[in-house]
Amino acid sequence: MATHLEMELSQLTSKVYRMADMSMEFIHNSVESLKNSDTKLAARVVESDSEMDRLEVEIDDDCIKILVTKQPAAIHLRMVLAFLKINTDLERIADLCTSIAKETLRLDGKPALKPLIDIPRMADIAISMLKKCFRAFSEKNSALAKEVLAMDKQIDELNIQIYRELFSYITESPHIISGALGLIMVSKAMERIGDHAKNIAERVVYYIDGINISHE
């Protein structure tokens, strides 16, 4: 028989997972909108950011309520603490995606500077990072969560590559500066999404093993 605490934690978990699913959609949709110059999709992404904000506040409130009224211990406590941080990371991811979608809106149907290849790749890596994090969380498999840490490096490398490429473009023809800067911003946002995913992986390891591996 599940205790009250376990029932409340299960509800909280469901909310966090919903937020995770939504942030994965955010990443996918924002990059997709940029890739296909799909302003409708971009507008939808920007709109649904408020839903993410609402969920974040709700999850924060739930966490605090559980901490105060149920006073969880050991793994339950770590779960709530991990959720508090994961929650923030997920919300930040959604914010970054919103800024990518806004870049699409700014272009207003014009195609991006060049066909996007590496940025969708970054998005795919970020999505699979998040997927892995939450799979690790469900299975309490810290080794899986640690795999995510290495994946962040791939995103970082892609970011540097894009930066270099765009830099050489700019030096060739200065009239594309605005477009190039937009893409650099998007690439940077993806890189930071990767960092947030990495943070989440670290929180997952903390939840499972009870050790803090950030800044190692």
Partner 1 sequence: MKTKKVRNKIILYSSFILIFMVFFFLWFITASVYQSHLGILEKEMVLKLNLMEHSNGPFASGKKAVLQEADRKFFTDISHVLGQRITVVDRKGKVVYDSDVRDISSMDNHRDREEIMNAMESGRGRSIRYSDTLGIDMLYVAKLSGDYIIRIAKPLYDINSSLTDIRYKIIISGIMAGIISIILVIYFSNKISRPIGEAINFAQIFSNGDFSKRIMNYSDDDIGTLQKSLNKLADTIVGKINSLLLEQKKLELTIDSIHDGIALIDTGRWIQIMNASFRRILDIDTDSARGVYFQVIRSSPLNAIIELSLESGQPGCREITLLNGTSCEILIIPISDYSGIQGILLSLHDITERKKIDEIKADLIGNMSHELKTPVAILKGYLETMGQYLGDRKMSMDILGKAIANVDRQNTLINDILKLNRLEKSHDFYMEKINLAEVVETCISLLKPKADNINLEITSDIRDLDRLFSCNRFLAEEVIFNIVDNAINYNTRGGKINIRTAESDSLITLEIRDTGIGIPRESLDRIFERFYRVDKSRSRDTGGTGLGLSIVKHAAELLKWTIDAQSDINGTSFFIRIKTA
Residues that bind partner 1 (CB under 8 A): 10, 13-14, 17-18, 20-22, 24-25, 28, 127, 131, 134-135, 137-139
Shortest gap between Cβ of 159 and partner 1 (angstroms)?
22
Shortest gap between Cβ of 130 and partner 1 (angstroms)?
8
Shortest gap between Cβ of 21 and partner 1 (angstroms)?
4
Nearer residue to partner 1 within complex by CB, 139 or 157: 139
Q: List the Cα angle 128/111/127 in 5-degree steps.
A: 5
**CA 75/CA 59 separation, integer angstroms:** 18
Nearer residue to partner 1 within complex by CB, 76 or 181: 76
Tokens representing residue 45 in the block: 């992404």
Nearer residue to partner 1 within complex by CB, 140 or 164: 140
Nearer residue to partner 1 within complex by CB, 35 or 102: 35
Tokens representing residue 177 in the block: 């500066």
Shortest gap between Cβ of 99 and partner 1 (angstroms)?
20
Shortest gap between Cβ of 50 and partner 1 (angstroms)?
16
Nearer residue to partner 1 within complex by CB, 120 or 163: 120
Q: How many residues can be counted in the chain?
A: 216
Q: Which residues contact 17 (CB under 8 A, 6 or more apart)?
A: 134
Shortest gap between Cβ of 123 and partner 1 (angstroms)?
10
Do the Cβ atoms of 144 and 135 come closer than 8 Å?
yes
Residue 184's φ and ψ, nearest 5 degrees, are -60, -40
Burial classification of residue 122, based on how many CB atoms lie within 10 Å of its CB (0-12 exposed, 13-18 middle, 19 or more buried): buried
Q: List the Cα angle 166/170/174 in 5-degree steps.
A: 155
Nearer residue to partner 1 within complex by CB, 35 or 198: 35
Q: Which residues contact 67 (CB under 8 A, 6 or more apart)?
A: 77, 80
Q: Which residues contact 118 (CB under 8 A, 6 or more apart)?
A: 158, 161, 162, 187
